[in-house]
Structure 1
Amino acid sequence: MSLPTPDAALTQDADGGYATVPLAKDAWMLGVVQSRVNAAQDRAGMKANLDHMLHLVDNAFRVGFGADPDLLFFHEFPISGWDRWTKAETERRCIEIPGEETELIAAKARRYGCHIAFGAYVRDPDWPGHVLSVTTLIGPDGEIVAKHWKSRNVKGVFSGFELFTTTVYDVLDEYVEKYGADAVVPVARTPLGNISMSSTQLEPELFRTAAIKGAEIFLRTATGGFSEVDVRSTALHNRAYCAIVNNSVLAAEGNYFEDTGAGGSAIYGPDGEAVAAADSKFEKLVLGRIPIAAFRARHRQPDIHWDLYRPVFDGYRSRFAPNLYTPYQPESLEDAGAYLNGRSRWR
């Protein structure tokens, strides 16, 4: 997997500063696209989903009032949708990055001079047999700016199944060997600010780590719901901007109720308050202004009294070990459940 431009290494400036690149503008508009999730039945269904995504990009610039978005942010699965597929079925709904789909998205980015971020199931020749969940950022020149893997899947909370997608944690040693330790929690330095993208929920340590590395804007994807408290606290506790994009109501003829965890897409500021939020569960563009220059002038790394906590963290043992998907990649949700059953290190 070819990674994006070098991610921000940890710096410990005397004043709590962090690595950046020059900003393109003092303030910019973030557009969160709350849109449907439609489970593609085949490649034709994927094309229809992609066409709809591209149509929504066009719609974002047809509004006709206010500033145009500088970055459009789509949810976790705008191209494939989601269903309880097997790994083989999911592999048929994977895209490659770069690939045919990203080229079409890149053309829209170039046309409108904007960044576009979106999630997808991804196959990568460097990771044969693995299904990846990746959030990608494409720049206004159509180039791929960043590809951030999902960091971890929650384990031990579902009844009878587990997720089979491969995350950083599932192949941690091999991932570090390929890309280096700094890529484990990536922060992309861009002319819009330092951006961290993730579909991981309820793991505040992940976002704190990214904030220490200089993340200024968190772009978080969801499907079928999320915890508002989790997202707002990411912004508040790290004094950063945090956007969440979730699905809208679903198609009535699909396999799930129209309102399956729909709505709630929003942008939160460093005080944890909403900059902008969807006021319905329908497809909607949520626009919020990010005054990045003024923010950066006063922003610093989180002020953590680490010496209080280090001994506890040093002695902590995670419930599940890393690297569990290095020797074996489960073939289905149920197979993942059977494979992980009994592998908890907590007794």
Structure 2
Amino acid sequence: MSYKALALQLNCQSITNSQTRDEAEFMMLRSIERIETQIAASIGHIGRDTLLIVAPESFLTGIPTRETIHEWREKAALEINGPIYEALSAMVQRQQVYFSGNAYEQDPFFPELYFQTSFIIGPNGDVLLRYRQLNAMYAPTPHDVWELYLDAYGYDSLFPVARTNIGNLACLSSDDILFPEVARCLAMRGAEVLLHSASEIASPLQTPRKIAKQARAIENMAYVVSANSAGVSGSPLPAETTDGHSRIVDHKGIVLAEAAYGESLVANADIDLAALREFRQRPALANLLARQRYELYANSYAQHSVYPPDTLLSQPAERAFFVRTQQEVIKKLYS
């Protein structure tokens, strides 16, 4: 099977300090209307075989810069069964695609926190999976409430894979592309297409994340569909800092398409599932998945701990606390 995937490069409207929750949700709903128009036009331009669309990180809200964890949760974090997901579901049903995006999300088990969540919505409007970002600098992650998170959801919830008629789809967001273990754990569970929502520094140079996207594709013999933002409006950061270079990389690490700057449909390419599956089933030096010897590494990981788990079970989630924790980790690593 072959179909088109699109890393849709969107301008993200940032929620501001002066907005109320109702105003923020109204802005998100307007953004969904604008995005649906762009999706419909993109499908018309690229072809009806465009079945997978990936949106950037925080595409409905921008990222918090001055807000506390509590302020951002109350203003910008989506309710799991709330009106924003309902609007996204309706959009996806109308367009008949698989849609992956990334949002800050409330969680009933952790009422004081939010998690940065990548999701996939299927053509029937159902949310097929939720992936919570595992490596963040200034935001809560499942690892920060490790014991309680595992009690609530179990270990396998950390690395969900959706088995669909367009392949085995998995998400990883933002900085998680820089951590090889995340993509590898998804590949262990059968992932064939890695959907990466980003809002990253855009540069014509070979940035760490650009290199990582190709490396993760090669290591895991998987496609990487990575959507970056086309700038963030309303943020105190320079608006075009995170503008451009959405890309699609194939299972051999070849960049199939890459957008330049601004809102764009240029990062679209064929996903050839038959070729990927044939490549994975061929005995060869290049078949890295079949050459893995996990037992070599398991003991080393078990014996070493770097960033501590459960840090937010006894401390409030604030940016200064995350910085102090990292400073303590660095001291431990290099003392």
TM-score tier after normalising by the smaller chain length:
0.7 to 0.9
In structure 1, C-alpha distance between the alignment counterparts of 2:53 and 2:239, rounded to whole Å? 24
TM-score of the two chains, using structure 2 as the length reference = 0.85
Partner of 1:337: 323
- 1:91-125 CA-to-partner distances (Å, cap 9, x unmatched) read 12111122100111111111111121111111111
Shift of 1:52: 2.4
Give the distance between the partners of 1:302 and 1:36, measured in 2 at CA: 40
Task: Please give the per-residue CA displacement for 1:255-286, whole angstroms capped at 9, x wherever unaligned.
Answer: 222321321101100111112111x2101122
Q: Hey, what does 1:328 align to over in structure 2?
A: 315
Question: Which residue does the alignment assign to 2:145?
Answer: 171
The Cα of 1:139 is off from its aligned counterpart by: 0.9
Give 1:306 shift: 3.3
Distance 2:33 2:132 in 1: 23
Paired position in structure 2 for 1:21: none
Partner of 1:141: 124
Q: 1:322 to 1:62 in 2, by over 3 A?
A: same
Does the aligned pair in 1 maintain the 2:98–2:123 contact within 8 Å? yes
Partner residue of 2:47?
67
The residue aligned with 2:229 is 247
Secondary structure at 1:70's aligned position in 2?
Answer: strand
Rounded Cα–Cα distance in structure 1 between residues aligned with 2:94 and 2:168: 24
- Give per-residue Cα distances to partners, 1:4-37, cap 9 Å, x unaligned: xxxxxxxxxxxxxxxxxxxxxx222211111123
Pairs within 5 Å for 1:30-69: 30-41=5-16, 42=19, 43=21, 44-63=23-42, 64-68=44-48, 69=50
- Give the C-alpha shift of residue 341 in structure 1: 4.4
Q: 1:282 aligns with which of 244, 247, 262?
A: 262
Q: Is the 8 A contact 2:62 2:232 kept in 1?
A: no
Query: What residue ranges of structure 1 are gaps of 5+ in the alignment?
Result: 1-25, 155-162
Do the aligned residues in 2 keep the contact of 1:53 with 1:78 (CA within 8 Å)?
Answer: no
CA contact (8 A) 1:238 1:302 kept: no
How far apart, in 1, do the equivalents of 2:101 and 2:229 lie?
12
TM superposition shift of 1:343: 5.5
1:185 shift after superposition: 2.0
- Contact 1:38/1:82 (<8 A) preserved: no
- The equivalent residue for 1:27 is 2
- In 1, the alpha carbon distance for the partners of 2:133 and 2:113 equals 13
Aligned to 1:158: none
- Alignment partner of 1:34: what SS? coil
Return the offset for 1:334.
2.4
| Corresponding residue number in structure 1 for 2:286 | none
Residue 242 of structure 2 is aligned to residue 266 of structure 1: no
Deviation at 1:307, TM superposition (A): 4.5
Alignment of 1:126-275 (within 5 A): 126-154=109-137, 163=138, 165-199=139-173, 200-225=176-201, 227-251=209-233, 254-275=235-256
Query: Separation in 2 of the partners of 1:287 and 1:340?
Result: 38
8 Å contact from structure 2 (residues 171, 196) kept in 1:
yes
Letter of the 1:244 partner, please give it.
S
Task: Return closer, same or farther for 1:255/1:107 CA change in 2, 3 Å cut-off.
Answer: same
Q: Which residue identity is paired with 2:249?
A: Y
Q: Verify the 8 A CA contact 2:247 2:257 in the aligned structure 1.
A: yes
Deviations 1:126-178 (A, max 9, x none): 21111111011111111111111111224xxxxxxxx1x22122122222222
TM-score, normalised to structure 1's length? Answer: 0.82
Structure 1 stretch displaced more, 142-151 or 319-328 = 319-328
Work out the CA distance in 1 between the residues paired with 2:194 and 2:122: 17
Aligned position for 1:312: 300
- Structure 2 unaligned segments of length 5 or more: list them: 202-207, 282-288
Name the one with the larger helix percent: 2
* Post-superposition offset of 1:339: 5.5
Q: Which moved more, 1:75-84 or 1:297-306?
A: 297-306
RMSD of the TM alignment (CA)?
2.1
Structure 1 residues 272 and 58, CA gap change in structure 2 (3 angstroms) = same
Offset from partner CA, 1:177-200 (integer Å, 9 cap, x none): 222222222222222211121112
Check the 8 A contact 1:211/1:302 in 2, yes or no.
no
Report the residue type matching 2:227 in the other structure: V
Q: Secondary structure at the match of 2:8?
A: strand
| Residues 302 and 152 (structure 1), Cα distance of their counterparts in 2 relative to 1, 3 Å cut | farther
- What one-letter code is carried by the residue in structure 1 that aligns with 2:91? K
Task: Assess, with a 3 A threshold, how the Cα gap between structure 1 residues 27 and 93 changes in structure 2: closer, same or farther.
Answer: same
Residue 145 of structure 2 aligns with an amino acid whose one-letter code is V
User: How far apart, CA to CA, are the structure 1 residues paired with 2:325 and 2:293?
Assistant: 39
